[in-house]
Amino acid sequence: MRNAAIIGVGCSRIGELWSKSIKDLLTESALKAMDEARVNKVDSVYVANAASNLLQGQGNLGAFTLDALGLSDIPAVRIEAACASGGLAVYNAVKDVRSGAANTVLVLGVEKMMDALPEDAMAAMMMGEDQEYTAYSGISFVGLQALMARVYTDKFEVPPEQLAAFSVNAHKNAVNNPNAQFHNEIDIDDVIRSALVADPIRMLECSSLSDGAASLVICSEEIAKNHPDSPIQVAGSAVASDFFSIADRDDFLSFKATRLAAEKAFKQANLTTREIEILEVHDSTSFTGVLALEDLGFAEKGKGAAFVADGGVDINGKYPTNTLGGLKGRGHPVGATGIYQIIDLVTQLRGKAGKNQVSDAKIGLSQNTAGLGSTVTVHILRRAV
């Protein structure tokens, strides 16, 4: 099995991009990535998106994307796995390059959530859960997470200030990311004083509705060797799943799919947590961000929030996490998020993260989650030396 590498990344900024269509956004991001990769054609395209049928009335996004880019003939596959659409698209592209089914693949994620009323965008997101048994009740994703967070904070006696620290770090890091949706710092008090969305989760702990698109060009390591910029090797790429509804699971305090995907990715990369220098975790809320740190093995179960509050995830901490803002600070354009995460890792591994640069980072890990961990992808990236 040959290795895959990333030779080009591109994205739009994230925000309320009223004047740009999904076509504008995906084209902007794809052309940037292809330009950086110095390719004008690819063997195939994966397009990640969760809700364009509902929010823009646009389906058939594979063909739509080829058309927008002036490409034709090649396969284009649209992948939907709720918030993990992006990570799952990257997984499929890496699989194709590793197996030899393709040499150069464009992976693209796009989501425009601000065109709709917030309640409609939220309903679209809840379609990532079981409609007949869960969404039907009217509960939101934050509500579902709060059920878990309530048990978690009680059992491990986690003070709200410790969970809040995750968001504080996210906003601090986003300030220096020109593509981020939020450029305002917040402190623990701001979080604790913000509105209670679903006890114990507060507004400033929740990721936002966002518009944005992000693209990668992934190719075989052989092709990457000829590229003038330092290619980033995909050392691990894994996906795992769990029973759809949390009610069916054994464990209320952990995402099994995160653990399984991490296990597979570490094995592929022949690495352990100790060697990982930077992290991108799926902080749809500060709670799931903390849970990810634990399930991935970077913090002890029940002590993830304390680790965060003690500065463990700061740029200069033990495991710098979401160094360009994560879902909370950078924004969360659902289908594109898994790809933004990888772009932010690539930016760090290339030493291009500016004021937020983690000194000499060579190896990073990203985790992308659908719903409440029904599908989780884990990628491990490594700078070719």
To the nearest whole angstrom, how small is the minimum distance from the Cβ of residue 324 to a second copy?
A: 27
Nearest distance in Å: CB 287, a second copy: 20
Please report how close the Cβ of residue 78 comes to a second copy at its closest, in angstroms.
5
Determine, following the binding rule CB under 8 A, whether residue 211 of this chain makes contact with a second copy: no
Among 31, 123, 203, 271, binds a second copy (CB under 8 A): 123
Based on the shown chain and the rule CB under 8 A, indicate whether residue 307 belongs to the binding site for a second copy.
Answer: no
Which residue among 76, 105, 299, 336 contacts a second copy (CB under 8 A)?
A: 76
Cis status, amide bond into 178, omega within 30 of 0:
no
Which of residues 78, 202, 227, 383 is near a second copy by CB under 8 A?
A: 78
Cα–Cα distance between 94 and 262 in angstroms, integer? 16
Does 48 contact a second copy by CB under 8 A?
Answer: no
Whichever of 58 and 230 has its CB closer to a second copy, that residue is 58
| Burial annotation 157-172 (CB, 10 A radius, 16+ → b, else e) | ebebebbbbbbbbbbb
**CA–CA gap between residue 350 and residue 382 (Å, rounded):** 10
In three-state secondary structure terms, 207 is: coil
Catalytic residue from among 171, 282, 332, 379: 332
Active site residue 83: yes
Is 287 one of the binding residues for a second copy (CB under 8 A)?
Answer: no
Give the largest CA-CA distance in the chain.
57
| 338 is a site residue for a second copy (CB under 8 A) | no
Task: Give bridge partners of residue 240 from the DSSP assignment.
Answer: 376
Closest contact distance (angstroms) between CB of 315 and a second copy is 33
Site string for a second copy, 9-28 (x = CB under 8 A): ------------x-x-----
Closer of 243 and 252 to a second copy (Cβ): 243
Task: Walk across the sheet containing 375-383 and list its strands.
Answer: 44-48, 104-112, 211-220, 4-11, 232-241, 375-383, 363-370, 278-280
**Which of 132/360 has CB closer to a second copy?**
132
With vertex at residue 342, the alpha carbon angle to CA 300 and CA 35, rounded to the nearest 5 degrees, is 170
Whether 246 contacts 107, CB under 8 Å: no
| Residue 117 to residue 318: CA distance in whole angstroms | 41
Q: Is 96 in the site for a second copy (CB under 8 A)?
A: yes
- Asked if 74 contacts 66 with a C-beta cutoff of 8 angstroms, the reply is yes
122 contributes a contact to a second copy by CB under 8 A: no
Answer yes or no: 282 catalytic. Answer: no
Assess 250 for contact with a second copy (CB under 8 A): no
At a CB cut-off of 8 Å and minimum separation 6, what does 161 contact? 188, 192, 309
Task: Name the residue nearer to a second copy (CB basis): 186 or 240.
Answer: 240
The CA-based angle 236-238-242, given to 5 degrees, is 155
The active-site residue, picked from 11, 83, 206, 219, is 83
Please identify every residue annotated as catalytic. 83, 332
Residues lying near a second copy in the complex (CB under 8 A): 21, 23, 50-51, 53-54, 56-64, 66-67, 72-82, 88, 91-92, 95-96, 98-101, 123-124, 127-132, 135, 239-245, 248, 256-257, 260, 370-371, 374-375
